[in-house]
Structure 1
Amino acid sequence: MKFSLKNKTVLVTGGGSGIGKAISKVFASQGAHVHILELDPANAKDTLAEIEKAGGSSESHECNVADQQGVNKVVETILKSGKIDILVNNAGIAHIGNIENTSETDMDKVYDVNVKGVYNCILAVIPGMKETGGVILNMASIASSVGISDRFAYSMSKGAVLTMTYSIAKDYVSHGIRCNSISPARIHTPFVDGFIKANYPDNQAEMFANLSKTQPIGRMGTPKEVADLALYLCSDEASFITGSDFPIDGGFIKLNS
């Protein structure tokens, strides 16, 4: 079976909703045992149930990726049962605002989750992967490489994720560790629906259509489409790929330049 993850142990941060949920389900469907790290375990409940119903294998762990000790504790628990083959750094938060309306508190919060969280998880799995090899996949963003208005802190954090990807790939390629990133454009997740409902309650359909049109292809992407790309990059079929970023953006970067 192509893109098989049979007998692979996978750790997915933020794996209980949105893109993370789709990745967890797709990876489990390909035979992986998926460990979902979530700040609120209740967020993972439905994902675990759906994976189990489909015959897959998964479990969840309460964890704040910004807490290094907490991340280390979860990773140590997982390693008691074997190795970690794949790490997907998906957990992240958004922030809207330019530099003038981004407070120091806002900046620290985004940095702690989007940058330090990725650092904490990679640092925790690297020693084991140096012995056995492995795959690290980071969720960056089109904001990593192009200007997105009113996304100062978010763009900063995702730029850091992108360069971390390149650094890890170069430093650990000789240890059999591959590291790549995915840079999505606008993806239709519950976060998008919540944002529209909260900020544009009287014209939700119009705003959804406007956001969709910002992608040259004419629609938002789906979490499943991102998950399928993630599956390829974490599978043996992508064994010659490391140190690369993969936009999945409906043409946003190239066709808007």
Structure 2
Amino acid sequence: MSEVRRLLDGRRIMITGSSSGIGAAAARLFAAEGAQVVLMARRKDRLEALVEEIAAAGGRAVAVPGDVTSDVDVERVVAVAVDTFGGLDGAFNNAGYAVAGSLIHETDRAVFDRIMDVNVRGVWNCLHSQIPAMLATGRGGAVVNTSSVAGIRATGAAAAYVAAKHAVLGLTKAAALEYGDRALRVNALVVGSTRTEMMEEVLEQAPELETSFVEKSAQKRMAEPAEVAQAAAWLCSVRASFVTGAAISVDGGWSAL
């Protein structure tokens, strides 16, 4: 009887924003599906605890604390991936930052800068460092960027967040076109309301948003982080071999309404 291969067997994958929420769920899932994962986030203690958890379950992971807004940090994480596992085959660029919505003229410029830095510059930094490492393997790779329903419509989130998540889709499409003939696929997730640490922080600032977020989903609920991670895992796998430049909705039907 032949051995059943796991979804990500042999894949070396970098995951950003992996100290909590969707990123942490992806770290657990990807490792369980056979990937060797490189975890990046700012909170060192959480990353190290997650690595221990993955190792105890029989997986392979390494923690590299850093901030995606720093090109130096991102380059260091990619270098650790190559040094530790011999290369990089995929990435889930999931780190993000959001705040409760406010009118444009009432939004502090520092808030705008932080939203754009994490959500746009962070993804660009990652692509800039990850792509050469994937091309160096000679077999391309797969990148998944986390966008949002706010990347395809105004949702009531801060205007800067809406703009930033639209930009993530633009970067995704451009990268897919630039590297499509070099076996490198680039896709994005259009994520709906998900019960993450960041979501809880937004709801703490504006509790009235929870009803709105739930009602906008056809399923009338928020996602669990692991549900989003499942979509990212598939896109990082060879089972999605003819999918690139796509914006895959994982939003409970929000964008269908």
TM-score (norm 2): 0.91
Q: Deviations over 1:12-47 (max 9, x none)?
A: 001120000111111000111111001121232332
How do 1:123-202 and structure 2 match up within 5 A? 123-131=128-136, 132=138, 133-197=140-204, 199-200=206-207
Residues 1:86 and 2:90 are matched in the alignment:
yes
Q: Which runs of 5+ in 1 are unaligned?
A: 201-205
1:2 deviation in Å? 5.8
Q: Which runs of 4+ in 1 moved over 6 A?
A: none
1:209 deviation in Å? 5.1
Conserved? CA contact 2:18–2:39, under 8 Å: yes
Conserved? CA contact 1:48–1:58, under 8 Å: yes
The range that moved more, 189-198 or 105-114, is: 189-198
Q: Deviations over 1:143-164 (max 9, x none)?
A: 0111112420111111110010
Conserved? CA contact 2:141–2:185, under 8 Å: yes
The range that moved more, 42-51 or 102-111, is: 42-51
TM-score (norm 1): 0.91
Aligned to 1:97: 102
1:217 deviation in Å? 1.2
Equivalent residue for 1:223, pick from 204, 221, 225: 225
Residue type of the alignment partner of 1:114: N
1:194 deviation in Å? 3.8
Residues 1:112 and 2:117 are matched in the alignment:
yes
Same amino acid, percent of matched pairs:
32
Q: Structure 2 vs 1, CA of residues 207 and 67 (structure 1 numbering), >3 Å: closer, same or farther?
A: closer
1:80 deviation in Å? 2.3
Q: Deviations over 1:120-160 (max 9, x none)?
A: 11100111222320111100001011111242011111111
Give the whole-Å Cα distance in 2 for the aligned partners of 1:228 and 1:77. 25
Q: Which runs of 5+ in 2 are unaligned?
A: none
Give the whole-Å Cα distance in 1 for the aligned partners of 2:157 and 2:230. 29
Give the whole-Å Cα distance in 2 for the aligned partners of 1:222 and 1:164. 26
Give the whole-Å Cα distance in 1 for the aligned partners of 2:65 and 2:47. 9
